[in-house]
């Protein structure tokens, strides 16, 4: 098999696996996955908003995902790590799924768009652009673009700080596509200082202690014990395959296999699932006034 053909097959398998995970753990707020091949198998990191729903009752969910990834997608000895997203509002995939769910439940697309723009910008995004297209109002297809903040369209900055994703929703009028692009502040590179000012003076070296100067200290008193402490910490944080577990990871055992769960710091929205979070958002969304409602009120 040629290198190009193998590369195409690998990318096609990754695309199918992404669609499978997106449908399977949709209610857990799936964002994206990272696959890393190791000598012991394949590590798969799932980034979601609610890790508990991925594991399932008594590990049933994670067991089914592991079996499917090994059989249908030919991953060698898949080892799954579930990571909680710290700020779901800055994930284009999560916001695409939420906006598509709002439209599917009957919310006006402009109200859902304004609410999504508000949520993304309030959580520290540099800029956001939402494009919605399809059968929006009638038989003829149309599209609308809504932008807030600063969003690079092309070039190096667009490649570095902008993430995007697409979701589709089937309505009685036809298919609607939602595309969200988010520019993140934490990925902006710091500018170089080209002022050419004088460099700061270097600090003078500290004087040696009197005991060291006279050689009267015990040679064993300053022995470095950090090596033993580091070894003990490394053994305690060792992963299931001899690797080092991530800081803050909680290990859950499922059928003899250990699954790492990395939870994000901070408080959550209080919802137990994405469906419940979407229902809560719909109540808050009623405060958003669309352009059509403003025109009706003016009349």
Give the per-residue pLDDT at 182: 95
Longest dimension (CA), the chain: 94
Read out DSSP for 19-53?
Answer: HHHHHHTGGGT--EEEEEEETTEEEEEEEES-HHH
* pTM of the predicted protein model: 0.70
Contact 118, 288 (CB under 8 A): yes
Per-residue confidence of the chain (299 residues) as pLDDT tens digits? 689 998 999 899 889 999 899 888 888 888 889 888 888 888 999 998 888 888 888 888 888 998 899 888 888 888 888 888 888 899 999 999 999 999 988 888 899 999 999 999 999 899 999 999 998 887 888 999 999 999 988 888 888 889 999 999 988 888 999 999 999 988 777 665 556 555 555 555 555 555 444 444 444 544 444 444 444 444 434 444 445 556 556 665 555 556 666 666 655 566 667 777 777 777 777 667 665 555 556 65
pLDDT at 254: 58
Residue 31's alpha-carbon distances to 57, 89, 285, in angstroms, are 22, 11, 23
- Report the top-level CATH class of 3-84: alpha beta
The per-residue pLDDT for 117 is 93
Beta strand extents in 142-231 (DSSP E only): 142-149, 162-171, 174-184
- Please state the domain extents for the chain: 3-84, 89-187+272-298
CATH number 3.40.50.1110 given to 89-187+272-298 = no
Q: Are 120 and 183 in contact (CB under 8 A)?
A: no
The pLDDT value given to residue 201 = 59
Query: Do 89-187+272-298 and 3-84 have the same topology in CATH?
Result: no
pLDDT of residue 221: 46
Q: What pLDDT, on a 0 to 100 scale, did the predictor assign at position 147?
A: 94
Interatomic CA distance for residues 249 and 262, integer angstroms:
4
Instruction: Report DSSP letters for 65-134, one per residue.
Output: HHHHHHHTS--SSEEEEEEE-S-GGG-HHHHHHHHHHHHHTT--HHHHHHHHHHHHHHTTEEEEEEEEEE
């Amino acid at each position: 098999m040629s290198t190009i053909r193998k590369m195409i097959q690998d990318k096609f398998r990754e695309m199918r696996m992404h669609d499978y995970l997106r449908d399977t753990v949709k209610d857990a707020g799936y964002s994206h996955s990272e696959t890393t091949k190791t000598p012991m198998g394949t590590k798969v990191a799932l980034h979601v908003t609610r890790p508990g729903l991925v594991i399932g009752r008594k590990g049933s969910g994670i067991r089914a995902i592991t079996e499917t990834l090994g059989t249908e997608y030919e991953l060698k000895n898949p080892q799954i790590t579930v990571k909680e997203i710290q700020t779901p509002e800055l994930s284009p995939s999560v916001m695409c799924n939420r906006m598509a769910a709002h439209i599917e439940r009957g919310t006006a697309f402009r109200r859902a768009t304004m609410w999504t723009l508000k949520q993304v910008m309030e959580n520290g995004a540099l800029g956001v652009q939402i494009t919605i297209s399809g059968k929006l109002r009638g038989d003829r297809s149309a599209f609308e673009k809504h932008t807030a903040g600063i969003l690079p369209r092309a070039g190096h900055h667009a490649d570095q700080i902008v993430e995007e994703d697409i979701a589709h929703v089937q309505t009685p009028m036809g298919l609607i596509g939602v595309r969200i692009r988010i520019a993140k502040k934490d990925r902006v590179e710091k500018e170089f200082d080209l002022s050419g000012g004088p460099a700061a003076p270097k600090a003078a070296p500290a004087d040696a202690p009197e005991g060291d100067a006279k050689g009267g200290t015990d040679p064993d008193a300053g022995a470095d014990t950090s090596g033993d402490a580091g070894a003990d910490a490394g053994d305690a944080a060792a992963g299931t395959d001899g690797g080092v577990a991530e800081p803050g990871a909680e290990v859950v055992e499922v059928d003899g296999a250990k699954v790492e769960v990395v939870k994000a710091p901070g408080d959550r929205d209080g919802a137990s699932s994405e469906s419940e979070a979407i229902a809560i958002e719909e109540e808050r969304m009623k405060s958003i006034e669309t352009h059509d409602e403003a025109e009706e009120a003016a009349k």
